[in-house]
Structure 1
Amino acid sequence: MNKFERINAALHSKEVDRIPVNLWMHFSAYDQNPRLLAEKQVDYARKYDFDFIKLAPFGLYSVEDWGVEIEYFNKVNQPPLATKYAIEKPQDWATIEVLPAIFGTYGKQLQLAQHVAKLSKGEIPFVQTIFSPLTTAYKLGGNRLLLDIKEHPEYVRQALEVITETTINFVKANIEAGVSGFFFATQLATTDLVTEFEYQRFGVPYDLEVIKSYNRQTFFNIAHIHGENNLFDIIEKYPVNCLNWHDRWTSPSLAEARKRTNKCLLGGIQEAPYFDVHHQITKKSLLVDGSVNEVELHVQEAIQEVNGKGLILGPGCVADQEVSEKNIYAVRKASVLTGQSIQSA
């Protein structure tokens, strides 16, 4: 199987020659240069024979063009930080305007997709990272958003319409660039930030408008649900064919999710720290501090939870940039051996 065939088979819960895998991460030392970032991402995927590339634009790319002030560090494991939000009072939501996809920070991320398309030469699927409109609004205004949803919903809706149209502009340009699909990330589908009712009103309609702008044109479309206490029951019904969340440290588990949906599940590898009973960190990350044997067993457990069907191995969110090379190879080895043993059972 080539990588496109392997991913497509996993998306349709068909047999694969090995379980497809990717350990995506940010490349914060390089992510302000789209050409250099593209080279790093393609080289990383080729070195470890990953089955797809998740493009890794920095997490604030969707708001800089609207005035969020950002500090850049260009260092490993030190992503850019917002130093000043663009929305400081309710009326500010009405000032943002629809943006094209070809200029500014959006334009750089489009260049990233274009460069990856050239470098990958049609040999590996790649998906662009986009954020739900409500997530982008949260990056624009921080907790101001959560207050204005309650007190000034008309302003928030106006802004969400603008963000949605801008996101769709970006989506269309990325389809022209040759992406295989989109990694649609929502960081607000959690009751830690909004109620289910609020997400139904301010999240779902705009999410669906974005997703429906591409889901019939691209074959590999992932919904990423970020955070604990997630609204999995809502997001699992979205018209995407793959779901990703922190399955190792928040519910549902892979096994539980398989009982609830037939969609492809992307996960199984814990990217977050491990804590002891005293809430002290015992491992920064299994991929960083774990032994090869621990990593292999971890991967085998994930594959066995769903009997190797409809699964793509990956982290619940970005992997630590200091991941151990021996453990990357351990993941790859386990994905092959465990997958083969399940297929032959």
Structure 2
Amino acid sequence: MDPLLAGAGRPVLLRRGNPGAGSGPEKIPGGGPGLMAASHRERIERVLAGERPDRLPYAFWRHFYDQESSAQDLARAMVAWYREYDFDFLKVNPRAQYHVEPWGARFEYPGGPHDRPRQVTFPVRTPEDLAAIRPVPPDSGALGEQLEALRLIRRELGPDVPMVATIFNPLSIAADLVGSDATLVRWLREYPAAVEAGLETITRTFIPFAQACLEAGADGIFFATTTLATRNTLTEEEYRRFGRPYDLRVLGAVSSAWFNILHVCQENSMLYLLADYPVPAVNWAATSSTNPSLGEARARLGGKVLIGGVSHRALTAPDPEAALSEARRAVEETGGIRFILGPDCSIPTTSRPENLRAVADFARNYRW
């Protein structure tokens, strides 16, 4: 029987040992007599506390488009991905468009590992449609499936693997609901009251969903602004009105979590506009020349943990040297303090495994 289908009445994952997470302390090679490796949770906790960890922590994340259509498949894909590279935390990449399915959007999956789902129904076609949406319970439909996936993953990986659930900010969800950034931007400029009504409903839906993610086993949320918190899409004044108030309500509702991460996506990002958001860690495209570098952001982001340093270009390059060069530069810029090596964003499905393995080996073997 498939391990995911074992059990009475609902799917469970069978426990298996996981090196580096729950299998007991491991001696650090070259670390000196008696020095023991930290668990993944202990390592991340030390980084958040501003302490130098036993080694450089790292994590990468991606979609598995052909394995996302059920809670069981998604959990299986995330667990396999985590175990392949033994990351220091698992950022659960949910079904790509789960966040708009509660309001009737439907998608077809082409079936290939590199093929994003195609939207086939568009329930929000006018500003009035957006204003008319109503809150959805967190345990229903696609939202409930994502919660079940989190429970399955936590049951499989145990308590020592930090895990964060992906929550898109209300403005990003609204853009996906209406079909494009351009449409949402036009509506918020021409029909601001309708957009604000929709944002209110989305916020009232995702506050309890984010809280339910914590109850399902997540240690925090990965709060993503996607293509909205960038000057390529909106002005800062527009983001202050249509983005920030709703963002802060969602983040405030999960402030009890110990490992919330803010992801400010895209080039020309509004990273500094969001610098005071109440999260301990921030991820952005630090390798882009249009954004602050890790070193530049250190002074402006205070005591926050910085996550990133490795570009998509380097991860898809024909050999690992570009990724290794970026990893070395990231450590130099941050001094390795309050820093987790990671990507600019969710990595391409075409990222080369040998490049990822090289970066993982670099982090695992890095000693201060």
Give a deviation string over 1:250-281, Cα, whole Å, max 9, x none: 3100011112112100100102xxxxxxxxxx
* One-letter amino acid of the counterpart of residue 269, structure 1: V
Matched, 1:26 2:89: no
Q: Which has the higher mean CA deviation after the structures are superposed, 191-200 or 294-303?
A: 294-303
Gaps of 5+ in 2: 1-37
Query: 1:37 & 1:306 partners in 2: Cα distance?
Result: 34
Gap runs ≥5 in structure 1: 272-284
1:1-345 equivalence runs, <5 A: 1-141=38-178, 142=180, 143-187=182-226, 188-215=228-255, 217-249=256-288, 250-261=290-301, 262-271=303-312, 285-337=313-365, 339-340=366-367, 343=368
Instruction: Kindly state the Cα deviation for residue 325 of structure 1 after the two structures are TM-superposed.
Output: 2.4
> Residue 196 of structure 1: CA displacement?
0.7
* Deviation at residue 68 of structure 1 after TM alignment: 2.2
Q: Which runs of 4+ in 1 moved over 3 A?
A: none
Contact kept in structure 2, 1:69 and 1:86, CA below 8 Å? no
Secondary structure at the aligned position of 2:282 is classed as: strand
Matches of 2:112 and 2:232 in 1, distance apart? 30
Q: Which amino acid aligns with 2:257?
A: T
SS in structure 2 of the partner of residue 194 of structure 1? coil
Cα deviation for residue 18 of structure 1 reads 1.1
Q: 1:83, CA displacement in angstroms?
A: 4.0
Maintained 8 Å contact 2:311/2:323: no
Equivalent residue letter for 2:238: E
Partners of 2:127 and 2:194 within 8 A in 1: yes
Residue 67 of structure 2 aligns to a residue whose secondary structure is coil
Cα deviation, residue 62, structure 1: 0.6
Q: Is residue 9–residue 15 contact of structure 1 (8 Å, CA) maintained in 2?
A: yes
- Paired residues of 1:3 and 1:123 also in contact (CA < 8 A): yes
| Deviation sequence 1:45-88 (CA, Å, 0-9, x none) | 12211111111112311111212232322321112133443321
Report % sequence identity: 36
SS of residue in 1 equivalent to 2:165: strand
Which has the higher relative contact order, 1 or 2, with Cα contacts under 8 A spaced 6 or more apart?
A: 1
Task: Compute the displacement of 1:247 (Å).
Answer: 0.7
In the aligned structure 2, how far is the partner of 1:88 from the partner of 1:196? 26
- How far the C-alpha of 1:326 sits from its partner, in A, is 2.0
SS of the residue aligned with 1:77?
coil
Contact 1:12–1:264 (8 Å) recurs in 2: no
TM-score (ref. length: structure 1)? 0.91
1:227-258 per-position Cα deviation (integer Å, ceiling 9, x unaligned) = 11111112111000111111111310001111
Partners of 1:88 and 1:144 within 8 A in 2: no
Deviations 1:126-175 (A, max 9, x none): 10000100110011112332112111111111111110010012112111
Counterpart residue type for residue 187 of structure 2: D
Tell me, yes or no, if the aligned pair for 1:300 and 1:335 is still in contact at 8 Å.
no
Aligned length in residues: 326
* Aligned residue type for 1:206: Y
Corresponding residue of 1:275 = none
- CA distance in 1 between counterparts of 2:364 and 2:139 reads 40
Say if 2:310 and 2:326, in contact at 8 Å, map to a contact too. Answer: yes
One-letter identity of the residue aligned with 2:245: P
The TM-score normalised by the length of structure 2 is: 0.85
Between the aligned partners of 2:119 and 2:292, the Cα distance in structure 1 is: 32
SS, match of residue 263 in structure 2: strand
CA distance in 2, matches of 1:74, 1:235: 37
